[in-house]
Structure 1
Amino acid sequence: MNLPKFSSLYGRIFAIFWLTMLLVLIAVIAASQFDPRQLHDVPSGPLQDMKEKGQEITSRYQNSPSLRTALMQIERNNVDRGKLDYYFNDTNGHWLNPPMGMKVRALNNFITQSDKSDLPQQRLYGRLMLAGPIPVVIANRELHMYFTVRWHQPPPFLLQLLDKPFQLLLAVMLTSTPLLLWLAWALSKPAMRLEKAAQKVARGVIELDPELEKGPSEFKQAGASFNQMVMAINNKISEQQRLLSNISHELRSPLTRLRMANALAIRKQGESAELARIDTEAERLELMINELLELSRRQIDAHQIRQHLSIQELWGDTIEDGKFEAEQQKKTLICHQIPNAFMTGNPNLLISAVENVIRNAIRYCERFVWVDFQHNNGGLTIKIEDDGPGVDEEELDAIFRPFYRVSTARDRHSGGAGLGLAITHSVVTQHNGHIKASRSQRGGLEVQITLPVDL
């Protein structure tokens, strides 16, 4: 079994788990070292005081005639009696001045653990600190001297944590929080990068993102796979667009020969309804092929050409050209101010999309065309209305299909091959937008385009 690498997500989770456990273990061991309820060596300062006290008692009572009398004098001379008491036992463990109450059990337990005079130790029993033994000589007898002190200091912080499980759990959570935050950041950052890249693809921005191949190895692999998918999509779209362009181009040659043969037939046989019909249909077919070539020429690799665009600069000239074209037909195009906002997209396709709708409205309006730009949190909405005959309700969705001709407003002599709105629909969809047609309150057709803007 291979050990997990730290560069992998599995390895980082594994390492953080065990590091947290290690910190808890260190805290428990450290708490036991500072726990006064465990047996510890007496600190150097108090140990020196204890030895000096033992030497003082030895020098004063070493040759006392009575052990009992000497012990009574030691107790009377203790000015800190009640706070600091002295207890003595012989080498057999018998107490010469027996303690009272709880001290008896505490001292009996303590001497079973600390009975070496060359290594005095201390331990806390409740609020009573015991220390010793210190060797002394009283009335020519070798004794062990023990000290008891009333303990008023608060227990160490780590000891308080060990005594209260809820606080210990809280401390463990607080200690592990920075590690968990780092782990969450290590997980969320590449995930957010992947999410943003997916959103860009959804908006039609199909481009490689080297940042996806950073972070834990699992996300590196996912990012590399995502970039491979983007490359495959780009290649498929480019192949499809080039295929459409090639087919359209190849169709022009036989169509040109067909029109030449029809012209020769008219020259030899004279005008006839059948030959005129052939010429009309060939002309329509040529118009369709020309529009297909124009469409394919604009769309080849257009999905890879994305720019940060100003809306005012993008469609400002389109509106001015539309006003001029309307004036030439004795019509009027009315447009309010274009908002100051920015978006990301292909400028040629976006200009063509709005231009197609405006020209369509100018062609079929009676006198007026209205263009309105609205910018809000949801994006950019472009509303184009006219006062023409409009479109029947049942045909509103169909007008965006390629080569579709509206029966009531268009015929074969009105111009166009029915690709303008289809091109607009394709461009808007590529830019993650929406387009819909409806009856205008002004009497004609209303086309509403919604596109995302840069925040």
Structure 2
Amino acid sequence: MKLPKITNLYGRIFAVFWLTMLLVLLAVMALPHLDPRNTREVSTEHYQKIMVMKQQIERRFATQKDLDKILKRLVRPSRAMPHGDRLSEPSSNKPRFFITDLDGNILTPSTGRDYAHKAVRNFVSNVEDPHQPLQRLYGRFILAGPFPIHLANADYLLYVGMKSNELPPFFLQLLDHPIQLLLLVMLVSTPLLLRLSWVLSQPARLLEKAAQRVARGEFEIDPMLERGTSEFRQAGASFNQMVEAVNQMMSRQQRLLSDISHELRSPLTRLRMAQALATRKQGESQELARIDTEAQRLELMIAHLLELSRMQVDSHQKREIQSLTSLWETLLEDTQFEAEQMGKSLVFTSIPERHIACHPQLLISALENIIRNAIYYGKDKACVTMTAEADQLHIQVEDNGEGVAEEELTSIFRPFYRVSTARDRNSGGTGLGLAITENAIRQHNGRIHAVRSPLGGLLVEIHLPLVAL
């Protein structure tokens, strides 16, 4: 029967937990039954071998009436029998013989601190039926018995012990060392737990990467998020629905702005045509010139609004890896030439040999806007400094103009904000240039802020993440 696939997160956790507990339970229940130190029946081969030994002993001491002498000679089996009667056992595994009376009292003399003698005493005390031979392992010493034997005209019981050359089994060590048993259970359960952690972390990593893409402005639906456990499938489906909703919202916003711009440009065009006709009929006047200026400013503002909206919607769709040199080298040379034509100087450092993932046109326009502002508002000097540290690019653009008041430094990146100083007075700007620049930098996971420059004017600092190739 095929087991149903567990897709619930908590179901998998409980399944692994109970499987681990089952392994522990099976180990605890099975190991005692596999313990060779448990008393068990003597194997047929071992029984036949011991019976041969018993018969040799009875035959050898058939005429001996002194039990003490027999026992002393049994302690040293190599001297107890002639060479032809020695047991065919290797010297490293000579059998030891222990004699008890029918009541279980050990008659074989002990040789000091004799571990085997202690084992025999324990084994004899656990024998319930003297007619049923058993065997048991004591460390590396195997005892078997009892076997009825006739010596010195009396009946006794024989126990045979042999040294085991085999190391104790691994599970025997586990029984003696609970810590090892715990380590074994951990070793067995670790692959299961690793598999569980991988199952849990894989969807989480996919969700994390999807969130990072959204943070970079890449609103893409990922079908892989809707796999795995039911909880992650639901989270992935909700995430994809959110991305789809954001895409639809931004598309509607773009469509709305396009419609608004179209509707605004129609009356604006008619207004400028009327102004041109009035100028032809009545000639030039201050009032008509003002109307034309404001109409041009309104048209420029609409164009900037559309550019800002378009940037927010599709900047992630044209990303590519670009070297910083190919991105900005031409811009710096062109603006340096333009500054010289205005009787000013533009100084810039060498461009780091690094790469960036970007929408090229956006970053070119963003830096161009800031540099042209620095040239325009600076008295006679503007500086551009580029440095790369680890995975970050730092750009500083500063001028020696009048600068911006401290309380307005955080506001100049807001759309339509116009500073109150002469820096923006009579500039003809719409107040959207720095807002578009800030939006472009943010679209590339960067940061931009403005401070007072040591040259006396404005210092704009940009931080952008770089990529390693």
Tell me which interval the TM-score lies in, with the shorter structure as reference length: 0.7 to 0.9
Q: Tell whether the 8 Å contact from 1:362 to 1:386 is kept in structure 2 after alignment.
A: yes
How far did 1:397 drift? Answer: 2.1
Distance 1:239 1:302, change over 3 A: farther
Structure 2 CA distance for partners of 1:339 and 1:205, relative to 1, 3 Å:
farther
1:18 aligns with 2:18: yes
1:411/1:388 CA distance change after superposition, 3 Å: closer
Assess, with a 3 A threshold, how the Cα gap between structure 1 residues 198 and 144 changes in structure 2: closer, same or farther: same
2:457, 2:420 → 1: CA distance?
A: 15
Which residue identity is paired with 2:328? W
Cα RMSD over matched residues?
3.6
- The match for 2:339 among 307, 310, 326 is 326
Q: Work out whether residues 110 and 130 of structure 1, in 8 Å CA contact, stay in contact via their aligned partners in 2.
A: no
What secondary structure sits across from 1:309 in the alignment? strand
Residue in 1 aligned with 2:97?
85
Is the Cα contact below 8 Å between 2:384 and 2:395 reproduced in 1? yes
Instruction: Compare 361-370 and 271-280 and name the one that shifted more.
Output: 271-280
User: How many angstroms apart in 1 are the aligned matches of 2:307 and 2:35?
Assistant: 86
> Per the alignment, do residues 31 and 20 of structure 1 end up closer, same or farther by CA in structure 2, a change over 3 Å counting?
same
Tell me the amino acid that sits aligned with residue 86 of structure 1.
Answer: F
8 Å contact kept, 1:203–1:432: yes
Contact 2:336 2:345 in 1 (8 A): yes
Task: Work out the CA distance in 1 between the residues paired with 2:319 and 2:246.
Answer: 16
CA distance in 2, matches of 1:317, 1:44: 97
Determine the structure 1 residue equivalent to 2:385. 372
Distance 1:113 1:191 in 2: 66
Question: In 2, Cα distance between the equivalents of 1:319 and 1:273?
Answer: 40
Secondary structure of 1:111's partner?
coil
- Structure 1 residue 400, shift from structure 2 partner: 1.4
Q: Is the 8 A contact 2:140 2:166 kept in 1?
A: no
The count of aligned residue pairs is: 443
SS of the residue corresponding to residue 245 of structure 2 reads: helix
1:434 — aligned with what? 447
CA distance in 2 between partners of 1:278 and 1:104 (Å):
121
Which whole-Å deviations, capped at 9, do the CAs of 1:297-342 have from their partners, x for residues lacking one? 4554223332223222222222222223323323322221111222
Counterpart for residue 90 of structure 2: none
CA distance in 2, matches of 1:302, 1:275: 40
- Is residue 378–residue 457 contact of structure 2 (8 Å, CA) maintained in 1? yes
Deviations 1:231-257 (A, max 9, x none): 322332232233223212321001111
Matched to 2:444, the amino acid is H
Q: Which residue of 2 aligns with 1:193?
A: 206
The 5 A counterparts of 1:286-297 are 286-297=299-310
Structure 1 position 216, deviation (Å): 4.1
Q: Is structure 2 residue 413 aligned with structure 1 residue 403?
A: no
Confirm or deny: 8 A CA contact 2:363 2:440 kept in the other structure. yes
Counterpart secondary structure, 1:350: helix
Distance 1:270 1:97 in 2: 142
C-alpha deviation, 1:213, in angstroms: 4.1
3-state DSSP of counterpart to 1:12: helix
CA distance 1:94–1:403, change in 2 (3 Å): closer
* Contiguous gaps of at least 5 residues in structure 1: none
Answering whether residue 398 of structure 2 is matched by residue 385 of structure 1, we say yes
Contact residue 114 and residue 121 of structure 1 kept, 8 A: no
Deviation at 1:135, TM superposition (A): 5.5
State the distance in 1 between where 2:442 and 2:193 align. Answer: 42
In structure 1, distance between residues paired with 2:409 and 2:321: 32
Distance 1:220-1:345 versus aligned 2 partners, 3 A rule: farther
Q: 1:222 to 1:414 in 2, by over 3 A?
A: same
Residue 438 of structure 2 is matched in structure 1 by: 425
* TM-score, normalised by the number of residues in structure 1: 0.82
Alpha-carbon separation, structure 1, partners of 2:344 and 2:415:
28
Q: Which residue of 2 aligns with 1:54?
A: 54
What is the match of residue 75 of structure 1?
71
Task: Give the partner amino acid of 1:431.
Answer: H
What TM-score does the superposition give when structure 2 sets the normalisation length?
0.80
* Structure 1 range deviating more: 94-103 or 13-22: 94-103
Pick from 104, 125, 128 the counterpart of residue 109 of structure 1.
Answer: 125
Bigger drift between 349-358 and 297-306 goes to 297-306
**Which secondary structure state, in structure 1, belongs to the residue aligned with residue 371 of structure 2?**
helix
The question of 1:40 aligning with 2:40 is answered: yes
Shift in CA distance, 143/160, structure 1 to aligned 2, threshold 3 Å: same
The alpha-carbon deviation at position 376 of structure 1 amounts to 1.0
In the aligned structure 2, how far is the partner of 1:338 from the partner of 1:318? 12
The answer for unaligned runs of 5 or more in structure 2 is 78-93, 110-116
Displacement, 1:353? 1.1
Do the aligned residues in 1 keep the contact of 2:120 with 2:143 (CA within 8 Å)?
no
Which of 226, 249, 252 matches 2:265? 252
CA distance in 1, matches of 2:185, 2:197: 17
Partner of 2:238: 225
Instruction: Quote the residue 2:135 is aligned against.
Output: 122
1:342 corresponds to 2:355:
yes
TM-superposed CA distance for 1:112, in Å, is 0.5
Tell me, in whole angstroms, the C-alpha distance in 1 between the residues paired with 2:303 and 2:143.
106
The 2-side partners of 1:244 and 1:96 are apart by: 109
What is the percentage of aligned positions where both structures have the same residue? 55
Report the CA distance between 1:137 and its aligned residue: 6.4
Cα distance change, pair 373–126 in 1 and its aligned pair in 2 (3 A): closer
Q: What's 2:462 paired with?
A: 449
**Residues 344-353 or 265-274, more deviating:** 265-274
The change in CA–CA distance for 1:426 and 1:38 in structure 2 (over 3 A counts) is same
Moved more, 152-161 or 280-289: 152-161
Q: Alpha-carbon deviations, 1:149-186, whole Å to 9, x = none? A: 57898754433332333443344334433433333333
| Other-structure match for 1:31 | 31
